[in-house]
């Protein structure tokens, strides 16, 4: 299927492609190619046959049409935070120059172009006292995040980002720019909400915003030695948490980096983090569960502007070679807690994981109408996220083996479901069925057969077009 552009074709066709585009075209051997093929996740090494730096929706139409005519697969990249399969031998569309954000404060919506990072939407929306449903990092791309579901700090109150899209503009494999909404191209709309970029290249989306300008949020740090007790106390805390409260518990092994503050460098903690979007007084009452229990080493829960939501997780901003895995848990049993602590912190005090996080979902995510999106696992409330740093292939393999062992130890408590935004590489390719609603894979495969029979968009979630 993969078909490289040979050099003769390159010479004759490059001019044609360039003439049809406002943005740049970069072939291998041309200046800028090695910078353009970089992803934020430096673990990704990819060699596209051609790179198009799209500036407009029409550029995306031209690029997809060119790829289809030359039997090239098509990959999309806004930031490179979530690349699940390297964009080798294909046409890679970079969207980072499509940065338009328009807020409608009356309708409480934002129109967001394909290359926009969440931070830009947050900053623009907060000027009107409104908030988008971003996740823990404002440097993640809004569209890529939303296509995979989109679980953030307002998730239990307002739901997934994908549930709050009013419409997508998307270029399908036939080179048509289509509008997908709940009254137009409804099957495409359904498949884009949780199905990743497997059905087309999104050029923009219009999303709902919510009236949130201040939250009661932050972190409690406890000594790593208290991890089991903290996880059990967390289990009790979230059992009757209101929807306004979205939280997680993290076993954190801070790397020994010089830029870290002294008290964190090379240290391990168990941290309770979260965001309450009700009143400050109610937030303080909820935090008494912890403050009246045992005093944390650090307590920075306080009222903050939602504009500062990135300070809750303090995710890395600079590019790095990250490894990610995860799974849905059905319970935090004592046995599951013991396994999470043993692997998260390491039995000898050393774990290859930087962090092991359990996020609390449910609430509005669980209640959303199921037939409107291919996103699955809505009844699962406990999401395990495992993150490590993998600068070499050996480190990646070690992390994959270690996280497999942890998941084996957790087996009785796993639901069998996964959250696609937190998977990468082979695991993402293999587990797609487990990330979707029941029957979702088969329905998406039928849609692929109609809309993308050659599977141009095979660099996203792995859906093979159904063969009749």
Ligand X SMILES: Cc1cc2nc3c(=O)[nH]c(=O)nc-3n(C[C@H](O)[C@H](O)[C@H](O)COP(=O)(O)OP(=O)(O)OC[C@H]3O[C@@H](n4cnc5c(N)ncnc54)[C@H](O)[C@@H]3O)c2cc1C
Q: Which residue, 6 or 318, has its beta carbon nearer to ligand X?
A: 318
Binding mask 394-423 for ligand X (x = CB under 6 A): ---------------------------x--
Which ranges in 304-381 belong to alpha helices (H)?
A: 310-313, 334-345, 364-367
- Name the β-bridge partners of 184: 181
The set of residues, in sequence order, having a beta carbon less than 8 Å from that of 55 and lying 6+ positions away, is: 21, 22, 23, 97, 98
- Residue 166 near residue 192 (C-beta atoms within 8 A): no
Binding mask 267-306 for ligand X (x = CB under 6 A): ----------------------------------------
Alpha carbons 67 and 45: distance in angstroms, whole number: 21
Alpha carbons 128 and 108: distance in angstroms, whole number: 9
Least distance (Å) between residue 388 CB and ligand X: 12
Q: Which residue, 313 or 339, has its beta carbon nearer to ligand X?
A: 313
Q: Which residue, 81 or 448, has its beta carbon nearer to ligand X?
A: 81
Note whether 81 binds ligand X by CB under 6 A. yes
Residues 91-110 that bind ligand X (CB under 6 A): 95
Q: Which residue, 136 or 351, has its beta carbon nearer to ligand X?
A: 136
Q: Which residue, 159 or 339, has its beta carbon nearer to ligand X?
A: 159
Question: 78: helix, coil or strand?
Answer: coil
Q: Binder to ligand X among 77, 351, 455, 462 (CB under 6 A)?
A: 77
Distances (CA, A) of 414 to 132, 194, 248, 340, 377: 30, 21, 17, 12, 12
Binding mask 313-352 for ligand X (x = CB under 6 A): --x------x------------------------------
Least distance (Å) between residue 368 CB and ligand X: 15
Alpha carbons 387 and 325: distance in angstroms, whole number: 7
- Edge-to-edge order in the sheet of strand 165-171: 101-104, 109-113, 201-208, 165-171, 177-181
Note whether 362 binds ligand X by CB under 6 A. no
Alpha carbons 331 and 349: distance in angstroms, whole number: 25
Q: Binder to ligand X among 25, 50, 76, 180 (CB under 6 A)?
A: 76
Binding mask 123-162 for ligand X (x = CB under 6 A): ------------xxx--xx-xxx-xxxxxx----------
- Residue 181 near residue 90 (C-beta atoms within 8 A): no
- Residue 422 near residue 383 (C-beta atoms within 8 A): yes
Residues 13-72 that bind ligand X (CB under 6 A): 39
- Residue 333 near residue 413 (C-beta atoms within 8 A): yes
Binding mask 189-228 for ligand X (x = CB under 6 A): -------xx---xx--------------------------
Write the Ramachandran bin of 71: left for phi over 0, alpha for psi from -120 to 50, otherwise beta.
Answer: left
Note whether 73 binds ligand X by CB under 6 A. no
Angle, alpha carbons 223-224-228 (nearest 5°): 110
Q: Binder to ligand X among 52, 114, 361, 447 (CB under 6 A)?
A: 114
Least distance (Å) between residue 182 CB and ligand X: 19
Least distance (Å) between residue 263 CB and ligand X: 23
Q: Which residue, 93 or 340, has its beta carbon nearer to ligand X?
A: 93
- State the number of binding residues for ligand X (CB under 6 A): 34
- Residue 180 near residue 189 (C-beta atoms within 8 A): yes
Interface residue list for ligand X (CB under 6 A): 39, 76-84, 95, 114, 135-137, 140-141, 143-145, 147-152, 196-197, 201-202, 315, 322, 421, 460
């Amino acid at each position: 299927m993969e078909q490289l552009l040979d050099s003769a074709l390159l010479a004759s066709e490059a001019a044609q492609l360039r003439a049809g585009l406002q943005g740049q075209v970069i072939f291998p051997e041309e200046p800028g190619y090695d910078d353009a093929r970089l992803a934020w996740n430096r673990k990704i090494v990819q060699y596209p046959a051609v790179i198009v730096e799209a500036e407009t929706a029409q550029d995306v139409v031209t690029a997809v049409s060119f790829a289809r005519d030359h039997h090239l697969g098509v990959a999309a990249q806004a930031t490179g935070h979530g690349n699940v399969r390297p964009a080798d031998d294909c046409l890679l569309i970079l969207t980072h120059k499509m940065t338009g954000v328009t807020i409608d404060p009356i309708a409480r919506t934002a129109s967001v172009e394909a290359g926009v990072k969440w931070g830009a939407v947050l900053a623009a929306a907060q000027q009107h006292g409104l908030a988008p449903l971003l996740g823990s990092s404002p440097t993640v791309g809004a569209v890529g995040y939303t296509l995979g579901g989109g679980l953030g700090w307002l998730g239990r109150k307002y739901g997934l980002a994908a549930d709050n899209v009013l419409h997508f503009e998307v270029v399908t494999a036939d080179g048509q720019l289509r509008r997908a909404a709940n009254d137009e191209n409804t099957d495409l709309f359904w498949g884009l909400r949780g199905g990743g970029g497997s059905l087309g290249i999104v050029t923009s989306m219009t999303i709902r915003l919510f009236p949130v300008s201040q939250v009661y949020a932050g972190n409690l740090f406890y000594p790593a030695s208290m991890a089991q007790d903290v996880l059990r106390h967390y289990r009790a805390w979230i059992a009757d948490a209101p929807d306004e409260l979205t939280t997680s518990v993290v076993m954190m092994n801070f790397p020994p980096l010089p830029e870290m503050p002294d008290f964190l460098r090379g240290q391990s903690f168990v941290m309770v983090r979260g965001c309450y979007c009700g009143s400050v007084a109610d937030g303080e009452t909820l935090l008494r569960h912890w403050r009246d229990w045992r005093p944390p080493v650090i307590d920075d829960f306080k009222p903050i502007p939602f504009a500062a939501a990135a300070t809750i997780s303090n995710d890395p901003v600079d590019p790095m070679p990250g490894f990610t895995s995860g799974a849905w848990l059905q319970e935090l049993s004592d046995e599951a807690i013991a396994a999470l602590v043993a692997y998260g912190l390491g039995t000898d005090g050393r774990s290859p994981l930087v962090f092991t996080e359990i996020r609390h979902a449910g609430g509005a995510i669980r209640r959303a109408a199921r037939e409107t999106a291919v996103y699955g696992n809505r009844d699962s409330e406990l999401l395990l996220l495992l993150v490590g740093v993998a600068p070499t292939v050996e480190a990646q393999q070690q992390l994959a083996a270690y996280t497999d062992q942890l998941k084996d130890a957790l087996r009785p408590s796993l639901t069998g479901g996964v959250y696609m935004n937190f998977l990468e590489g082979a695991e993402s390719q293999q587990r797609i069925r487990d990330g979707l609603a029941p029957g979702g894979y088969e329905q998406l495969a039928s849609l692929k057969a109609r809309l993308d029979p050659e599977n141009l968009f095979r660099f996203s979630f792995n859906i093979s077009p159904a063969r009749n």
